Amino acid sequence: MRLSLGQREALWAYVFLAIPLAFFLYFRIFPTFQALGLSLYEWHADPGARKFVGLEHYERLLEDPLFRRALTNTFLYTLLGVPSQLFLGLAIALLLQRVKVARDFFRAVYFAPYVTPAVAVAWVWSWMLSPHFGLVNEILTLVGLPPQPFLQSPTQALPTVTWVVVWQNLGFQVVLFLAGLESIPRQYYEAARIDGGEGWRLFRHITWPLLNPVLVFSVVIATIGYLQLFTQVVNLNFTDQGGPLNSTLTLALYIYQLAFLRFQLGYAAAVTVVLFALIFLITLVQLRVFTRKVEL
Amino acid sequence: MLQKRFLLVLSSLLGLSFAQTVTITYWQYEFKSKVEAVDELIRRFEAQNPGIRVVQQTFPYDAYQQKVAAAIPAGQGPDVVNLYYGWAPTWVKAGYLVPLPEEWSARVDREFVSMVQAVKIGEKVYGVPTAVRSLALFYNKDLFRQAGLSGPPRSWDEFLAAAKKLTVKQGGRFTQIGYGIAPDGQDHHLVREILVRQFGGRPYSEDGRKVLYLSEPGLKAFTFYTDWVRKHEIGVPNFFPGNNGYRDGFMAGRIGMIIDGSFAIGTIQQGARFSWGVAELPVERAGGRKANFGSFWMHGLTPLATGPKREAALKFLAFLTSEETQRYWLEKVGELPASKALIRDPKLSLDPIYGPFILSLGYAKATPFVDETAQRKVMVDAINRVILQGMDPAQSLRMAAEEEQKILDRFWR
């Protein structure tokens, strides 16, 4: 059989695509199912000695206060973090779009935190937020407010960690929105202005709907990011990770502790399966709910 | 895959050419002086044992357990592995350590300080240490002099009085504290293993399976400690943020006293720019009971050490824990020897820095952890509930005892 040029090109495309696909299947999808299998066994270094325990780990999840706490915290991080990140990101992007002088400088400033290693960010913030030496409390005291414990308070720690993560992700978010804003054709605004549209109405009827693809992408990616929160949590309270009093514990951190500090890899796999299912479901729902067809 | 096959071919070729050589792998976490010391020890060992080759592999501390967890099931890990003694029960249960031959049990009884008994889990010995550690009081002599204090406190009353003099508060914020409160540093050991015993209680039953600190002396000890923050205000946790902030704060000259391990000596020697001293831990009252928390890193045997590798690994283990190695280790790494005979050396016990640690090795006890991460958290949280949330100490300690008993029961069931 002779293949046409187009067919041959397509064939080559598939060959090249197959390599990353195989990689993806072997290193991403296969371990996911492996984790599912693992969660049904009591972990042992010798694969032959792993005892089948069925759904025991999932039953244990139901009455594990630490799991419940980690789950609640993870949702709180997501509910606080995603809207804040999107709102601030959009606000800053809209402002930056209007900046005409030193445009690149401002963009670089907002992007800088994103390219700073998360560990370094966490350590600098833990000093800035220190109740006794921190800059933030210095400022609070100057304006006559009482110093706050921030990371050391079981009630303030989670919002504080969220803030640090939002601050760090903001740069990326701003760049996404800026790109989205730039891609909206000028003519739409010009036409609307001729028809008497202004300010808020332009935003409401042109900017917002046309930003939808960027918005959906941002919501989904940011949500996954917050659901998997780990590095900042670990480093903001390094000697009592997830503390104080489990107030900052996340599912990802709990999985890490169970698996690699307590060698309960079977149970950790069960938590992983739950986290995977959560991310999967939430992402599906978000794609359904937020994706809109735009007609102008 | 390809790489693995290549390595297989390569190793079988090497195997052919050195048919009599057994290669074993030793793992420890990265710590410069320890890595260098082991390199040198391997050179000496290989010279004495021509048929054995030892390969040392190291990993950053934070990734260490993770590497072990993944490597051993994959059959790629160490034959001899270095681990914190508190991890051993968890590792044993998950099949990462195999027991040493029976004669090692008698050796542990005969040669090592008493805390090393913690290597026995259910009658079997799972490893031995080269060096051990204990706790002592580090104090800033310059700050003591400025506050008109003559020497280190001997009782907790003197300790409190000194700490109060050393604490400086401006507005709502401390600029200097008397004691470096660190529930998640060494203080959870201080409460569990030292104060409870000094006040006349016992933290656990003899077999380590029952929590006993929920008792009158236990509650007294726990309340006494939490009062340092709540009532006496001689310090706050995380005064300096970060890993080992209490030690950083001490080295910065902002903390008058800290309780820290002998493992901190090197860091403090390099970091502190003032005159400082070490003293044995204070006691409840003059002549009162002494107590200390002892701990160590041990060398264990993994299930990967089979056949001729097992023989070689056991030889290396014996070499690593010999008195000669312990002497070298003290010199090179600065860690205290684990041998009963060596710590009797008066040169050591009279040393102004090492002395207080050496003296407490005789009575130091190693907590019989079964799940160190979880148990540590129980005590840290118990303290934090009182000092951060104002919970009644009795209630908090009761919650801790219940939680910890559950952890013990789960392990021993």
Q: How is domain B135-293+367-412 classified at the architecture level of CATH?
A: 3-Layer(aba) Sandwich (3.40)
Q: Where are the domains of chain B?
A: 21-133+295-359, 135-293+367-412
CB within 8 Å: B73 and A259? no
pLDDT at A189 over 80: yes
Q: What is the pLDDT of residue B5?
A: 55
pLDDT at B261 over 90: yes
Report residue A103's pLDDT band, with 50, 70 and 90 as the boundaries. Answer: confident
- ipTM greater than cut 0.85: yes
CB within 8 Å: B73 and A257? no
Task: Provide the percentage of residues in chain A whose pLDDT is more than 70.
Answer: 99
Whether B21-133+295-359 and B135-293+367-412 share one fold: the answer is yes
pLDDT digit string (tens) for A232-276? 999 999 999 998 999 999 999 999 999 999 999 999 999 999 999
pLDDT at B398 over 80: yes
pLDDT at B12 over 80: no
pLDDT digit string (tens) for B68-104? 999 999 999 999 999 999 999 999 999 999 999 999 9
* Cβ-based neighbours of B398, under 8 Å, separated by 6 or more: B214
The residue to which tokens 């890899």 are assigned: A265
Q: Which domain holds residue A241?
A: 64-290
Task: Provide the percentage of residues in chain B whose pLDDT is more than 70.
Answer: 95
CB of A147 within 8 Å of a chain B CB? The answer is yes
Contact B386, B393 (CB under 8 A): yes
Chain A hits for B184, Cβ within 8 Å: 239-240, 243
In a domain, A159, yes or no: yes
CB within 8 Å: B96 and A45? yes
pLDDT at A2 over 90: no
* Cβ-based neighbours of B247, under 8 Å, separated by 6 or more: B180, B185, B258, B260, B264, B267, B268
Over residues A145-163, mean pLDDT: 95
Q: How far apart are CA A38 and CA B31, in angstroms?
A: 34
Nearest to A147 by CA among A167, A166, A130: A130
Q: In Å, how far is B67's CA from the nearest CA of chain A?
A: 9
Contact B38, B317 (CB under 8 A): no
pLDDT digit string (tens) for B160-185? 999 999 999 987 789 999 999 999 99
Please give the structure tokens belonging to residue A138.
């210095």
CB within 8 Å of chain B, chain A residues 66-105: none
CB within 8 Å of chain A, chain B residues 250-289: none
CB within 8 Å: A152 and B93? no
Q: How far apart are CA B350 and CA B291, in angstroms?
A: 20
CB of B243 within 8 Å of a chain A CB? The answer is yes
Q: How far apart are CA B121 and CA A202, in angstroms?
A: 73
Instruction: Name the pTM for this structure.
Output: 0.92
Q: What is the pLDDT of residue B402?
A: 97
pLDDT at B408 over 70: yes
Q: What is the pLDDT of residue B283?
A: 97
Q: What is the pLDDT of residue A1?
A: 64
Please give the structure tokens belonging to residue A219.
């919501």
Neighbours of A106 (CB within 10 A): 15
Q: How far apart are CA B167 and CA A115, in angstroms?
A: 40
Strand (E) or helix (H) holding A252: helix A251-256
Determine the CATH number of domain B21-133+295-359. Answer: 3.40.190.10
Report residue B17's pLDDT band, with 50, 70 and 90 as the boundaries. Answer: very low
Q: Searching chain A, which residue's CA lies closest to the CA of residue B242?
A: A238
pLDDT digit string (tens) for B127-157? 999 999 999 999 999 999 999 999 999 999 9
In a domain, A108, yes or no: yes
Q: In Å, how far is A113's CA from the nearest CA of chain B?
A: 20
Q: How far apart are CA B280 and CA B284, in angstroms?
A: 13
Strand (E) or helix (H) holding A162: helix A157-182
Q: Searching chain A, which residue's CA lies closest to the CA of residue B96?
A: A45
For chain A, the domain total comes to 1
Q: In Å, how far is A11's CA from the nearest CA of chain B?
A: 26
Q: Searching chain B, which residue's CA lies closest to the CA of residue A153?
A: B388
> Tell me, what CATH number does A124's domain have?
1.10.3720.10
